[in-house]
Amino acid sequence: MQTPAKHVLWMMAAMVVSAAHAQTNYAPTQVIADIGSTTAIDRWQIQDSAKAQQSGADISSTGFSTEGWYPVSGRATVMAGLLENGTYKNDVFYSDNLRAVQVPDSSGSLFVTPWWYRAEFTLPKNLAGRHTLLRTNGMIASADVWINGHLVADHADVAGAYPVHEFDVTRWVHTGANILAMRVHPADPRMSLSMGWVDWNPTPPDNNMGPWRGVDIVQTGPVELSFPQVLSTLRLPDLARATLDVKVSAKNLDTVAHDATITGTVAGVPIQQTVHLAPGQTQVVSFSPKTTPALALDHPKIWWPVGMGEHPLYQLEMIAAVDGATSDRANATFGIRSVSSSLTKQGYRQFFINGKPVLIRGGGWAPDMFLRDDPARMEAEFSYVVNLGLNTIRSEGKLENQRFYDLADRNGILVLAGWECCDKWESAAKTGGAPWNAADMKVAEDSMASEARLLRNHPSVIGFYIGSDNAPPPPIAKMYVDTLRAEDWSLPIISAAADQGTAEAGPSGMKMAGPYDWIPPAYWYADKLGGAFGFDSEVSAGADIPRMEDVQRMLSPQEQEALWKYPEARQYHASADWSTFAVLTPFDKALAHRYGALTSLADYVAKAQLDNYDNVRAQFEAFNAHMDAAKPATGVIYWMLNNAWPSLHWHLYDYFMNPAGAYFGAKKANELVHIQYSYDSNGIVLVNHALDDVHGLQANIRVRNLDGSARYEKHLQNIDLAGNHTRQLATLPAIAGLSSAYFIELDLASSDGKPVSRNVYWLSTRSDALDWAHSNWYLTPVTQYADLTALQTLPAATSEVRATTRREGKDDVTTITLSVPASSKVVALFQHMSIRRGAHGDLALPIRWNDNDVTLWPGESITLTARYESQGTTVPVVEMSGWNVPAQSVTATATQGTDH
């Protein structure tokens, strides 16, 4: 299995292979022989229909020559498939190389004509009494489908990114080799209900055309089981009892009637029912405590979001038998939990899990730009979400496959799913937008039904946005809500991510008032626009600059120079060419005013890390501080969690999965038990996101001048902190004699002195001033910037680094002790640790730190730990750098008992 780091290296290597060395191996898909099995088509051969002009009947026939076709993986879009084959000599993620694909030469675009997908699959010998079904799991944009020379469905039947369609192809298949061919039609998110990228990144040249969620071959007997579902109803507030309602669809695929006996277990409870099915009949088979009293569970295991409890899962397993023989199988994983939402007095949505209010703290999800499927990378991304202390992912379109939701379930990460903005999905909601026709309505209805069936069993999923930037118009809103209810959707239905409503779903309880571009940290404490009150569905201060090594591997030398020298320059890796966000002017201007004139790329990147950390921390901390307020903050989604490609904008971790300032600012703010400073009140606030109360805490508060001298100190003991609450601990008084740039150092420890939370702020005696009256949808102008330029005058500091590494299962865990000697005269500001696999090796990525980007004064020390996948016997090397600390490297010596 490839690690994400390997994935990135493999991807880059693949893209420099010449077309002459394209893959030539092709193995047919071997269909699993078992009744009730589902086999994914794991390999295709693809070709442009301009080159393969034969009919679908010919192409789906045995013996058809595919010489010159491209072998690709089972879920590859056309562009992803071409990248797999090394079609492009240059890395399309570097500089503006992608332009050459987006704007082709005089020979024309590869992506304006349909593309053929052809696969061979082998069926088992004994097909008597069996049905073979073809299942398409979403098609961008649509496809005509043939098997063994026969047209199965045309592009009117197989259309849309999300609908799941199933066809009984038994009459056209046979034992041994069979041929499936699909003519996939070009995609355009403005014209079809597919997938668009708005201003997140450049448009993929192929608009993601292809079977992006894959195609399956299903083997079943005469009665098929589909859409197994478990709905749990949990008794509140004691959580001591839950009832389970189980449903499954049974369909008779034969031309004669059958009696089918459905048996199975749900949460260990046996269930059984026999139904009579006429030819072609579908019946929903239900089980409940009325039919099966044991489905009323005492003291069930309760699923909680991360930080609030464990995430136990239950299993449903079912078998349909006809005439004593197994006909089909169905299974599902589910959790027992309660989800509800209501509106606050101010009209904002508040979510409750198992009766407890939860502050939603999340980020917006982006898949790979070419929709490449990488299970190891996805798993690593979820490990980052947990490590960041977030509890939610929002998917604005780009809805993912089953694996994504399984990972969310296992990790306790809440999911807010929904449709996307700014293309066909919302065209009917806009003034002057193109209205939908009957075919569009059918695709949208099928999409909603398919997504409801995919999502409804997952305890991680807590709601669905039927609109994003705009609520759907009445007919579409009604269709969505009716479809969800028909699919037994029990979760909140949200009209839009903006402050809009629909008759069917009511007010959204959301706000989408910006910002999306740079504002100062104090902005988040305001009581207007994007400040920390209510539920902010997407919001951030815009630019998030990766660390130097990533800037250098994504930007050309000319782009690197423009990044720090020319703030008005458009950056291809900032946003789409046409977008407001393609320039980083507000961010660059703030950086120069607040931290000092930019002198080099290294200076720019270093100052950007400081700013990103500070601003991202402030965003999440402001929502923390106001979660108990009279005008409460109920949710915030950082825009965005990640990127679809290497980007200078909108992420908590970059495409290379190299944690930088934004990552560690978010991680600091989202500590489970946390101490923080409030910009609006000079208050020191404690936050407890866990449900359990904490007792006997002790806190140290220091305000330090630039020279390290303490201008204010306070020590507090025997502090109690209620679960799922905040506490105002102290208010800093006016302090005379502060240097123009100064520090607040906060330490929180348990009753026995063990560190709980440490937080350091760098502040200015001159405040940032916002021009609220001239705000727009993405930015509030600044009329005065804080003055942190004195940080540039800090003398060089001394730090000592010691490191060891031990093996834990498949991981290496490196422990670092970072100390500033008491004899040192100066603060060691913003010290960053990285780990390489050997002295000149690659960075160890992905990597999960307990803390990083830390600040220490003379006589202080801290212990940092990092966990990452072990590779070989190379001894890790720790690299330390800092704002005013000379870089150094140390070998992380192996501790006794490791495999190094």
- Whether residue 469 lies in the annotated active site: yes
Angle between helices 402-411 and 438-455 (to 10 degrees): 40
243: which 2 tokens?
Answer: 């009832």
Q: What is the H or E stretch that residue 404 is in?
A: helix 402-411
Q: What DSSP letter does each residue of 542-584 carry, written as one string?
A: SB-PPPHHHHHHHS-HHHHHHHHH-TTSB-TTTS-TTSGGGB-
294: which 2 tokens?
Answer: 């044991």
Query: What CA–CA distance (Å, rounded) separates 198 from 202?
Result: 8
Catalytic choice (216, 409, 440, 469): 469
Task: Enumerate the β-bridge partners of residue 328.
Answer: 320
Catalytic choice (120, 423, 440, 538): 538
416: which 2 tokens?
Answer: 């807010």
Q: What is the H or E stretch that residue 188 is in?
A: none
Query: What CA–CA distance (Å, rounded) separates 637 from 633?
Result: 12
Q: What is the H or E stretch that residue 15 is in?
A: none
In 267-313 the beta strands, taken as DSSP E runs, fall at 269-277, 282-287, 296-298
* Cis peptide preceding 141, ω within 30 of 0: yes
Question: b vs e for 338-357, b when ≥16 Cβ sit within 10 Å of the residue's Cβ?
Answer: bbebebbeeebbbbebbebb
Query: What CA–CA distance (Å, rounded) separates 312 from 309?
Result: 9
Cα distance between the two ends of the chain: 22
Query: What CA–CA distance (Å, rounded) separates 11 from 837?
Result: 20
Asked if 571 and 543 touch (Cβ cutoff 8 Å), the reply is no
Q: How many CA atoms lie within 13 A of 868 on its CB side?
A: 26
28: which 2 tokens?
Answer: 């047919």
Q: What DSSP letter does each residue of 457-491 carry, written as one string?
A: T-TTEEEEES-SSSPPPHHHHHHHHHHHHHTT--S
Taking CB atoms within 8 Å and a gap of at least 24, the contacts of 63-72 are 64/118, 64/179, 66/26, 66/118, 69/45, 69/116, 69/118, 70/22, 70/23, 70/45, 70/46, 71/22, 71/23, 71/24, 71/25, 71/26, 71/43, 71/44, 71/45, 72/43, 72/44, 72/45, 72/46
What is Dmax (Cα atoms) for the chain? Answer: 92
Nearest to 521 by CA among 388, 612, 632: 612
Q: What DSSP letter does each residue of 144-213 carry, written as one string?
A: EEEETTEEEE-TTTSEESS--EEEE-GGG--SEEEEEEEEEEP--TTTSSS---TTSSPPPTTTT-B-TT
Nearest to 226 by CA among 287, 159, 283: 283
Task: Enumerate the β-bridge partners of residue 802.
Answer: 817
- Strands 115-123 and 176-185, bridge-based pairing: antiparallel
Alpha carbon of 303 to those of 239, 380, 444, 583: distances in Å?
11, 22, 32, 44
Query: In whole angstroms, how large is the CA radius of gyration of the chain?
Result: 29
- Whether residue 310 lies in the annotated active site: no
Sheet holding 828-836, edge to edge: 854-856, 828-836, 877-881, 888-891
Going by the DSSP 8-state scheme, the letter that residue 172 receives in this structure is: G
Residue carrying structure tokens 């939701």: 405
552: which 2 tokens?
Answer: 């250098």
Q: How many CA atoms lie within 13 A of 705 on its CB side?
A: 11
* Cis peptide preceding 228, ω within 30 of 0: no
Is 326 strand, coil or helix? strand
Catalytic residues: 469, 538
